[in-house]
Structure 1
Amino acid sequence: MSASHERAAGPFKQPKAVWAVAFACVISFMGIGLVDPILPALAEGLHASPSQVSLLFSSYLIVTAVAMLFVGWVSSHIGAKRTLIVGLAVIVVFAALAGSSGSINGIVGFRAGWGLGNALFIATSLAVIVASASGGFGGAIILYETALGLGIAVGPLLGGELGAISWRGPFFGVAVLMAVALAATVAFVPALPKPERPTSPLAPLRALRHRGLLTMGIMALLYNWGFFTMLGYAPYPMKLSAHQLGLVFTGWGLLVAAFSVFFAPRLQARYGTAPVLYANLLGLGIVMAVIAAGVDSPGVVITAVVVSGAFIGINNTLTTQAVMLVSPVERPVASSAYGFLRFIGGGLAPYAAGKLADATDLSVPFYLGAATFLVAIPVLASGHGLLRRAERTAGEGASVVPTLTPVGGAAVTAGPPLIVAVGAHERAAAIVDTAARLARDTGTALEVVHVQQTAVVEEQAVDVETADQARSAVAAHLDRLAAHGVPAVGQILTSVGDHAAAGRALARHAADVHAGTVAVGRSPRGPLAQFADGSFTSALTHTAACAVVLVDPDSAPRPLTTATLAELRAASA
């Protein structure tokens, strides 16, 4: 049997390709927050009204929205690496042109080109990072989430510092940093295989015929209307310098990142996707109404904007989870269709808000933003049944709820089986083989459960392995065991985003088949990732009715308890 005992790479022990794309992710996620601190300075320096300046958001987001319909088609024809490189090059060129422009109309036009590059980049960055990772995808996902949080939090700070020198500074800063990222991507990211089937440019629009995806898309459109109204107009009533605005939006960005990565998955696990989104949208509506009512009080606006970061972080994560939950189409197609609608909402909002502010007063756009958050609640509720059914059953296509699919024949021996759970990482064979020896020594039937994971980060979702790859992994385990005279059956446990939910699902399956023991290996994801989105092993240990043991090729099996889990986390920290 396999003798590979090598440990999986940690989140920060990744190839240069992963680091190159992660650096580009930081700069890309800075994009919107970088501009916020300079909006008043732009208006003053170019003698433009707030409604004219707001078109920077509209042109950027509307072009991003339309481009989202075609990026899958482009990537499927030229490959993910080339798509990434083209996107980065476009951002470099148009960010530099925006910085050199002398008119607000010129900047608005160049921001549209920037939006095209951004769409090409964001649609492929997560997939490229996962494909380039070493030692399993878990570390790469942590690095991607770190890049996301860093970009959201640091973008306004850097924008404020550069904007205090000149409003041109943030644009040129992005151009220089993205040029560095472009060079690193060209040098270090390997060529990646193209999909077996090219994606049709009409596929995202066709996907919107599905009621669940359309419902979630409209909800996201309304949410982004309110969100980008706040981003586009909140800086003006604050009456702060570019440096001070940078600090305010850095505080906002820190809450967005923290609640997106650490709190949203835990709230979802405890209360469910839809209830958390209902409460969250209500909270955003209240915050926007506070901004509208206190628009003449800079302190009220500043406080409300920073607090909104918590709600926005939760919403960004759970809305994507919900889209993947109800979508009966391939994940890239669902992401493109959803991205199209959400970016359209974000693009139209600043333009409409500007017209309203010019015709009435500055509070009206914020009241409208509050209303769109509240209207999103009944829109989401109209699809509540679809969401609940998808959470409880394995719907066609994708589901956030973990599901088990048999691979191979029926059970080969009578009696309670020993279940071994493994993922798609380099130590899987060694863990299965160690569990097989334990099953043989105890005269127990063996069942191999392969966890097939889909990573969900912000608005992106990517399958880290295909269904065929998962089946091949299980078949390889079964063939290797059969060659050594160990009878076994296999299962694929499919899970989207929520590791703890997968652990609980396996515990239920173990109870259903009356398993005597469930064996797991050390998690390759590390303590940070397990704290962020839940631990498969912890959830399994806490909910399983049978014994859970840690199998390690280098030592004897150990029963897993709460104390043992604490020891393992301390040792791996």
Structure 2
Amino acid sequence: MSGFPRAHRHPSSDDPSGRKRPPTDDAGEKQVIPREIKVLIAAAFVIAIGFGLVAPILPAFAQSFDVGVTAASVIVSAFALTRLLFAPAGGWLIERMGERPVYIIGLLIVAVSTAACAFAASYWQLLIFRGLGGIGSTMFTVSAMGLIVRLAPPSIRGRVSGAYATAFLLGNIGGPVLGGLLAGFGLRVPFLVYAVALLIASAVVFFQLKDTSLADRRAARKQAPLAVKVALRDSAYRAALVSSFANGWSSFGIRIALVPLFASAVLGAGPEIAGLSLAFFAAGTALALTFSGRLTDTAGRKPLVITGLIINGAAMVALGFSGNVVIFLAICVVGGIGTGLLNPAQQAAVADVIGHERSGGKVLATFQMSSDLGAIFGPIVAGVIIDRLFVGSYDLAFVATGALALVAAAVWLGARETLVRNRGAGTAGEDTEGTSEQQG
């Protein structure tokens, strides 16, 4: 017996349909990560290497077509916009075809569109090609999330989310550095290398998962899919949507679109420092992920989410006032630590709401869409602040980003804890599927 205290549950947190909770599994530390998830983790590493190649040079590549900060930021937002618009259709495709085929097709779409970016002859061509990549991105992202939610043992959901995020972040550590070096051979070269990396990831998933029954969509039909309107009754899911929006604004919008431009315009640094800034963010996140996944399965989802949001928000504010490259890079590490605390916890909380015996494709798509909305609006709002409202005021753009993270932390203060500890079964984390609660 593990000795974990039991978390008492109020009857109102039971499933609206009145179902009993399923039996729990063994203690999290005794569970083994399934092979299929290990394959997805390996693919995530390859994808991240390629993404990291492109991220630091994308704004500069856009500005090579004689556009301003706002237009360069829109290139980043366009990718998130098409992800957002295609998310409902992506969920429908997953129900029709299954997760694995949609995952592979999505990777191939991003590979082709990324290669096309390398041959873009104008800003508008680059915008279209980058936007098309968002369609494939939402396909493989939601597919991977669905498989991980369904395949991860309930008691190690935090650890699985942490392992998946670690692979992605390790790729992001080396990717930006390599991308900055490749930029010396021309801003188009990293796009071609990224396309090749995506083709490799597609092959890995296809050959390693082609014979597994766990990738079959029929395996998720034990229960009716969880509807978004039911999930929204759960305060934890509502809070996760807010924190996902704030994280998308900061990590996928401002970090990629604004931080490299800030390093160049304010600190006078070159593309190498821009690449290093993203790598330092990733390094901080990877550092936090070495313990945040397991801590999420023991201390709970909520404390980690709130702590991560506060740390990341404070770092975003501090970035705007960093006066030299050394302080700038140090703050990047701190911001990354906040993200590393946040991500496994909020993803595990959403997985708790869905459970492993039913499909949650639309619930996951909505969760992903909230992040994409943040990634869309973050760079645009920052660009308007810098180009129109307060010309050159990068500090105000970073303050707005940090304030949003702190608002999300405040929302989580009123949300429920989804991790349930079972003293009798010796379980550090219990499957809480069907626990959507009605809270005003």
Provide the TM-score with structure 2 as the length reference.
0.75
Residue in structure 1 matched with residue 237 of structure 2 by the alignment: 213
Partner of 2:15: none
- Out of 280, 284, 303, the position equivalent to 1:255 is 284
Provide the residue aligned with 2:217 in structure 1: 194
Change (3 A) 1:310 1:119: same
CA RMSD of aligned residues (A): 3.8
Report deviation, 1:285: 2.5
Indicate the percent of aligned positions where both proteins have the same amino acid: 23
Using a 3 Å threshold, how does the CA distance of structure 1 residues 286 and 111 change in structure 2: closer, same or farther? same
Change in CA separation of 1:273 and 1:18 when aligned onto 2, cut-off 3 Å: closer
1:36 lines up with 2:64 in the alignment: no
Match among 381, 385, 389 for residue 352 of structure 1: 381
What SS does structure 1 have at the residue aligned with 2:121?
coil
Give the equivalent residue in structure 2 for 1:104: 123
Note closer, same or farther for the CA distance 1:106–1:315 as it changes in structure 2 (3 Å cut).
same
1:72/1:199 contact within 8 Å kept: no
- The partner residue of 1:305 within 317, 332, 355 is 332
Matched, 1:236 2:261: yes
- Assess if the C-alpha contact under 8 Å between 1:80 and 1:128 holds in 2: yes
The separation in 2 between residues aligned to 1:142 and 1:282, in whole angstroms, is 19
For the 8 Å contact 1:402–1:495, the answer to whether it is kept is no
Q: 1:198 to 1:351 in 2, by over 3 A?
A: farther
Return the offset for 1:106: 1.8
1:181 paired with 2:201, answer: yes
The 1-side partners of 2:107 and 2:84 are apart by 17
What displacement does 1:284 show?
2.3
Higher helix share: 2
| CA–CA distance in structure 2, aligned partners of residues 143 and 224 of structure 1 | 20
Is the 1:213–1:334 contact (alpha carbons within 8 Å) kept by the matching residues of 2?
no
Q: Residue type of the partner of 1:303? A: A
Query: Do structure 1's residue 92 and structure 2's residue 116 form an aligned pair?
Result: no
Deviation digits for residues 111-155 of structure 1 (CA, Å, limit 9, x no counterpart): 22111111111222366589999xxx9999897455323223222
Deviation at 1:297, TM superposition (A): 3.9
Aligned in 2, Cα 1:117/1:494: closer, same or farther, shift over 3 Å?
A: same
Superposed displacement of residue 334, structure 1: 3.1
Contact 1:36 1:235 in 2 (8 A): no
Aligned partner of 2:94 among 75, 80, 92? 75
Change (3 A) 1:364 1:333: same
The one-letter code matched in structure 2 to 1:349 is G
Counting only pairs closer than 5 Å after superposition, residues 424-439 of structure 1 correspond to structure 2 as none
Q: Which amino acid aligns with 2:260?
A: P
Query: d(CA) in 1 for partners of 2:384 and 2:296?
Result: 38
In the superposition, relative to structure 1, how do residues 369 and 263 fare at CA in structure 2: closer, same or farther (>3 Å)?
same
Match of 2:185 among 140, 147, 165: 165
Aligned partner of 1:222 in structure 2 is 246
Q: What is the aligned partner in structure 2 of residue 486 from structure 1?
A: none
Are 2:143 and 1:124 equivalent residues in the alignment? yes
In 2, Cα distance between equivalents of 1:74 and 1:219 = 27
1:401 Cα deviation after fit: 1.2
Is the alpha carbon distance of 1:128 and 1:238 closer, same or farther for their aligned partners in structure 2, counting shifts above 3 Å?
Answer: same
1:381-420 residue pairs with structure 2 within 5 A? Answer: 381=413, 383-384=414-415, 387=416, 391=417, 399-403=418-422
TM-fit CA distance, 1:314: 0.6
SS at match of 2:320: helix
SS at 1:400 equivalent: coil
Aligned to 2:371: 342
Shift of the 115–143 alpha-carbon distance from structure 1 to 2, 3 Å rule, reads same
1:175 Cα offset (Å): 0.8
Query: For each residue in 1:476-497, what CA deviation from the matched residue of structure 2 results, as whole angstroms up to 9, or x when unmatched?
Result: xxxxxxxxxxxxxxxxx6479x
Query: Residues 211 and 35 (structure 1 numbering): CA distance in 2 closer, same or farther, change over 3 Å?
Result: same
2:309 to 245, 263, 281: 281
Of structures 1 and 2, the larger Rg is shown by 1
Cα separation, 1, equivalents of 2:189 and 2:64: 13
After TM superposition, the score normalised by the length of structure 1 is: 0.59
Q: How far apart are the structure 2 equivalents of 1:10 and 1:324? A: 18
Instruction: Work out whether residues 57 and 232 of structure 1, in 8 Å CA contact, stay in contact via their aligned partners in 2.
Output: yes
Per the TM alignment, residue 44 of structure 1 is displaced from its structure 2 partner at its CA by: 4.6
Q: Distance in 2 between matches of 1:184 and 1:267?
A: 29
Residue deviations 1:75-130 (CA, integer Å, cap 9, x gap): 12112221122111101111111111122222222122111111111222366589
Deviation at 1:243, TM superposition (A): 3.0
The residue number in structure 2 matching 1:366 is: 398
- Residue 14 of structure 2: aligned partner: none
Paired AA for residue 74 in structure 1: L
1:394-421: per-residue Cα shift (whole Å, max 9, x none)?
A: xxxxx421459xxxxxxxxxxxxxx9xx
Distance 1:204 1:111, change over 3 A: farther
Contact 1:59 1:347 in 2 (8 A): yes
Measured against aligned partners, the alpha-carbon deviations of 1:508-534 in whole angstroms (never above 9, x if no partner) come to xxxxxxxxxxxxxxxxxxxxxxxxxxx
1:364 is paired with a residue whose SS is helix
Q: Following the alignment from structure 1 to structure 2, what is the Cα–Cα distance between the partners of residues 73 and 297?
A: 49
Structure 1: give runs of 5+ residues left out of the alignment: 1-7, 392-398, 405-418, 420-448, 455-492, 497-573
SS in 2 for 1:245: helix
Given that residues 114 and 195 in structure 2 are in contact (C-alpha distance below 8 angstroms), is that contact kept between their aligned partners in structure 1? yes
CA contact (8 A) 2:63 2:72 kept: no
Give the AA of the match of 1:243: E
Deviation at 1:59, TM superposition (A): 1.1
Q: 1: CA distance between counterparts of 2:278 and 2:426? A: 43
> How many residues end up aligned between the 2 structures?
386
